[in-house]
Amino acid sequence: MTSNFLNGVTILTQEMIDDLPVCDIHVHLPGVISPNTAWDLGLRNKLISVERKENGEYICFSGPNSLSIEDPHEHYLDIFNRDFQLDANGQPQNLKYAIDFESFKSFDRIMATVQGHRNPPGGIQTKDDLLFVLYRYLEECIKQKIFYTELQQNIKIAYLLFPDENRENARKQLYLLFQEVVEKFQSYGVHLRFLHCFNKTKAAGESKSTHERTLEAALWLEEAKKIAPGVLVGIESAGHEKDQTGWPIHLKAGYDRVRELGLGCEAHGGEGIGVEHMLDVIKTLPITRVAHGFQAIEDSEAIEYLKDNKITLVMMPIINLNLGLCLHVKEKEGVYVPFAKTKGGEKVHFRKLEQHPFFELFKKHKLKITLGSDNPEFGGVSIKKTIYALAGLDSEYQLPENFDKLNAEEVVTLCLNGIEAIFGEEKLKTGYKKLLAHWIEKYQVNCSINLA
Question: What sign results for the dihedral spanned by CA atoms 61, 109, 175, 186?
Answer: positive
Between 374 and 377, CB nearer to Zn ion: 374
Q: In Å, how far from its chain's centre is CA 422?
A: 14
Between 10 and 417, CB nearer to Zn ion: 417
Shortest distance (Å) from residue 337 CB to Zn ion: 27
| Residue 149 phi, psi (nearest 5) | -145, 145
- Give the containing element (helix H, strand E) for 223: helix 210-227
Shortest distance (Å) from residue 283 CB to Zn ion: 20
Report helix, strand or coil for 117: coil
Between 195 and 340, CB nearer to Zn ion: 195
Shortest distance (Å) from residue 69 CB to Zn ion: 29
Shortest distance (Å) from residue 155 CB to Zn ion: 17
Asked whether 422 and 25 are in contact (CB, 8 A), the reply is yes
Q: Does 140 sit near Zn ion (CB under 5 A)?
A: no
Between 291 and 353, CB nearer to Zn ion: 291
Residue type, 252: K
Binding mask 278-307 for Zn ion (x = CB under 5 A): -------------x----------------
Between 268 and 433, CB nearer to Zn ion: 268
Between 60 and 319, CB nearer to Zn ion: 319
Q: Does 374 sit near Zn ion (CB under 5 A)?
A: yes
- What is the C-alpha separation between 365 and 311, in angstroms, rounded? 13
Q: DSSP E strands: which ranges in 177-247?
A: 191-199, 232-238
Half-sphere exposure of residue 327: CA atoms within 13 angstroms, side-chain side:
24
- What is the C-alpha separation between 329 and 345, in angstroms, rounded? 5
- What is the C-alpha separation between 391 and 4, in angstroms, rounded? 14
Stretch that binds Zn ion, among 113-121, 303-311, 366-374, 421-429 (CB under 5 A): 366-374
Between 179 and 312, CB nearer to Zn ion: 312
Shortest distance (Å) from residue 117 CB to Zn ion: 17
User: Of the candidates 63, 38, 41, 37, which has an alpha carbon nearest to the alpha carbon of residue 50?
Assistant: 63
Angle formed by the axes of helices 300-308 and 275-284, nearest 10°: 20
Stretch that binds Zn ion, among 67-75, 104-112, 373-381, 424-432 (CB under 5 A): 373-381
Shortest distance (Å) from residue 272 CB to Zn ion: 12
Asked whether 52 and 90 are in contact (CB, 8 A), the reply is yes
Q: Does 40 sit near Zn ion (CB under 5 A)?
A: no
Shortest distance (Å) from residue 31 CB to Zn ion: 8
Find out whether the peptide bond into 317 is cis, omega within 30 degrees of 0: no
Shortest distance (Å) from residue 292 CB to Zn ion: 7
Q: Which residues of 191-225 are buried (b: 16+ CB within 10 A; e: fewer)?
A: bbbbbbbbbbbebbebeeebeebbbbbbebbebbb
- The residue with its CB nearest to Zn ion is 374
Stretch that binds Zn ion, among 47-55, 117-125, 138-146, 372-380 (CB under 5 A): 372-380
Stretch that binds Zn ion, among 35-43, 136-144, 371-379, 405-413 (CB under 5 A): 371-379
Between 28 and 171, CB nearer to Zn ion: 28
Stretch that binds Zn ion, among 154-162, 245-253, 367-375, 390-398 (CB under 5 A): 367-375
Shortest distance (Å) from residue 405 CB to Zn ion: 25
Between 373 and 417, CB nearer to Zn ion: 373
Query: Per-residue DSSP letters for 380-406?
Result: S--HHHHHHHHTT--SSS---TTS---
Between 172 and 385, CB nearer to Zn ion: 385
Shortest distance (Å) from residue 149 CB to Zn ion: 13
Shortest distance (Å) from residue 291 CB to Zn ion: 5
Instruction: Give the footprint of Zn ion on residues 166-225 (CB under 5 A).
Output: none
| Total interface residues for Zn ion by CB under 5 A | 2
- What is the C-alpha separation between 131 and 222, in angstroms, rounded? 24
Q: β-strand 346-350 against 325-332: which pairing, if any?
A: antiparallel
Instruction: Give the footprint of Zn ion on residues 43-102 (CB under 5 A).
Output: none
- Residue ranges that bind Zn ion, judged by CB under 5 A: 291, 374
